[in-house]
Amino acid sequence: MSEENIPYEQTELYKIRHTAAHVLAEAVLVHYPDAKLGFGPPVEDGFYYDFDLGQEENGKAVAFTPEKLAEIEKTMKKLLKKNAPLQNRTMGIAEAKELFADQPFKQYQIDSLAEGKLDEDGNTTQEAASEVSIYQHREFADLCRGPHVPFTKKVRHNAVKLLRSGGAYWLGNENNQQLQRIYGTAFENKEELAEFLRLLEEAKMRDHRKLGRELELFHISQLVGSGLILWLPKGATLRDILERFMRDAQIKSGYLPVITPNIGNLELYKTSGHYPYYKDSQFPPIEVDDELYMLKPMNCPHHCEVYKSKARSYRDLPLRLAEFGTVYRYEKSGELNGLTRVRGFTQDDAHLFTTPDQLEQEFIGVMELIQHVFTTMGMTDVRARLGTHELDNDKYIGDPAIWEKGIDAIKGACDRVGLPYTVEAGEAAFYGPKLDFIVRDVLKREWQLGTIQVDFNLPERFDLEYVGEDGEKHRPVMIHRAPFGSMERFTGILIEHFNGAFPLWLSPVQMVVIPIADRHVAYGQKVADELREAGFRVELDAGSERMNKKIRNAQLQKTPYMLVIGDSEQEAGAVAVRTRNNENRGAMSVADFKAHAQAMVDSFAQEL
């Protein structure tokens, strides 16, 4: 999108979408003259508007059908072509209530504005208004602060699209009446709209829930529970490869493994402060033998107790404790989503205990590890966001001088690694500054991955100490970091990033041996055994289907290589190599193929 540095609310695009929302409401009133209007703001990728269309005879709320949505879109386009100026005026509360006399939701809005509870977009506000702002074009008037384009024609009729409709609760509260929301989008021109719709379609094709099913990676069973992932053999293989990749990288960086249990005494979380402060996002405590235990929501408290298992001196630091730790958090059932929002997940977690002087160097080490992960995955569009404290806010705990030192250490680390970053004051946790990595994928969507968090609080709460060179006791600083974040969410993102066609080193099944006829099966088995022996993940398709069907099946599973075997391959001790991209590489000796595939794996190659 253009206008990169201007806030979205001030861009031409925002005005276009805002105006499109008004014209949508105008069009809905053409088809449903008695419709009651809720809120209709621009949003990140377009706009929406909420309506109450009344009830059917059986008491069910009238909803928009796809056919009706198409008709409304047509009407919208007609109205846009007709053109009309948007006029802004203010009026007193009483006059406004008169103007919207038959619109109960607007009445509520006007009262909320007068009481200083909600603004015109439905966001909470503190300011009580004595006047309200109205935008009007033709007969259609709406409570609105703008901004808008000056004429409806500025919204091009061929750059507007209604996307879908669905239920939405008034004020987002499920105890309130359900309204019918229409989502739409608008762009500056039809080319930009076409590109947006293409990416939307592509995102649907790549949806990790759909691919996860088709490629047999994971399953969610209601009998097991919502948000609890069953990793199927192929998904578990993929996860195992990722874990091994991370373990190897961590060994090279001097991390030490620890393993801690999935529950902990409630006293542990009272010490850490995770209970009761994060109570709402945790499963309730379990009573055992008159004591309370909790499903582990975080690994850090356990790791602090590992630190305390013996007296530490400065010679022990930095101490880097790593664990693939499974944690449980309570997420509302409506917010659960495939692998990306779950109730149980495994973090590739580690906690680094350092002296204040070691902080910058350790931070650099962590950043390099995270960048190594992204580079290996082919994620090259990466930026960082540094969350700092606000100077005049007393919610932040700890010595201001140590905060400064922490922030300087992170800035110094970014500069030395050459990573661009933005600073966002007030985005730090109350216990220390943090650095988030923002990765943009091929569909131009941004993901927050690989947070590094500096923590001055837990060492305090757990009374962690080390004996310094001076013989005195000192407080270590703690770094929390998880390059993947969670194995579940990261795998979900990877599935969409690669569209299920993983590079060879990550593919759960790397190659399928395909004998053409029964007489080639024995040799096929021998080839498969030899490749498996060499460490590759191989399947043999000895079924009775025809060769082309077998190749097609392997391509649908996005298996990198198909090794076809007929008479001539069998005689020559060779395989005919095809790829999932339908490339025919011709015959190759088994030894040559093995060497080629090994080189691709060893270099983490994206291509085949």
Q: Give the binding site for Zn ion (CB under 5 A).
A: 144, 300, 480
The one catalytic residue in 343, 351, 411, 580 is 351
Q: How far is the CB of 39 from Zn ion (least distance, A)?
A: 9
Q: Which two tokens stand for residue 379?
A: 């994620």
CA 299-303-304 angle, to 5 degrees, is 120
Peptide bond into 257 cis (omega under 30): no
Rounded to 5 degrees, φ, ψ at 193 are -65, -45
Q: How far is residue 316 CA from its own chain's centroid?
A: 37
Q: How many whole angstroms separate alpha carbon 206 and alpha carbon 398?
A: 45
144, 148, 300, 474: the active-site residue = 300
Identify whether 343 is a catalytic site residue. Answer: no
Is residue 148 annotated as a catalytic residue, yes or no? Answer: no
Cβ at position 102, least distance to Zn ion in Å: 19
* Catalytic choice (18, 329, 474, 520): 329
Q: Residue 144 or residue 386: which is nearer to Zn ion going by CB?
A: 144
372 is catalytic: no
CB of 458 to Zn ion, least distance (A): 8
Task: Determine whether 347 is an active site residue.
Answer: yes
Catalytic choice (109, 282, 347, 453): 347
CA 482 from centroid of its chain's CA atoms? 15
d(CA 458, CA 149): 52
Alpha-carbon span 203 to 446, nearest angstrom: 13
Here the tokens at position 466 are 């080390």
Task: Kindly name the residue from 349, 436, 441, 541 that is annotated as catalytic.
Answer: 349
Question: Which is the catalytic residue, given 137, 296, 434, 580?
Answer: 434
| Contacts (Cβ under 8 Å, ≥6 apart) of 113 | 93, 119, 120, 128, 129, 132, 143
Residue 480 known to be catalytic: yes
Residue number with CB closer to Zn ion (17 or 480)? 480
Smallest separation (angstroms) from Zn ion to the CB of 64: 20
276: preceding bond cis by omega (within 30 degrees): yes
Q: Which is nearer to Zn ion, 369 or 509 (CB)?
A: 369
Quote the CA–CA distance of 506 and 509 in Å, as a whole number: 9
- Please state the closest distance from residue 144 (CB atom) to Zn ion, in A: 3
Q: Least distance to Zn ion from the beta carbon of 298, Å?
A: 6
Q: Are 340 and 493 in contact (CB under 8 A)?
A: yes
Minimum CB distance to Zn ion, residue 65 (Å): 26
105: tokens are 């939701």
Nearer to Zn ion, 312 or 480 (CB): 480
Tokens of 534: 């060499």
Residue in the shown chain whose Cβ atom is closest to Zn ion: 144
Question: Quick check: is 329 catalytic?
Answer: yes
Reduced to 3 states, what is the DSSP secondary structure of residue 142? strand
CB of 422 to Zn ion, least distance (A): 24
Task: State residue 219 phi and psi, 5-degree precision.
Answer: -145, 145
Q: Which residue, among 365, 356, 357, has the nearest Cα to 320 in the 3D structure?
A: 365
3-state secondary structure of 504: helix
Q: Is 300 or 493 the residue whose CB approaches Zn ion more closely?
A: 300
Q: Specify the residue for token string 């008695």.
A: 34
C-alpha span between 61 and 178 (Å, rounded): 8
Give 22 or 239: the residue with its C-beta nearer to Zn ion. Answer: 22
Whole-angstrom distance, CA of residue 229 vs CA of residue 206 = 19
Residue 119 or residue 530: which is nearer to Zn ion going by CB? 119
Active-site residue, 18 included: no
Is residue 38 within 8 A of residue 105, CB to CB? The reply is yes
* Cβ nearer to Zn ion, comparing 37 with 506: 37
List the structure tokens of 355: 């002296």
Q: Which residues are catalytic?
A: 300, 329, 347, 349, 351, 434, 480
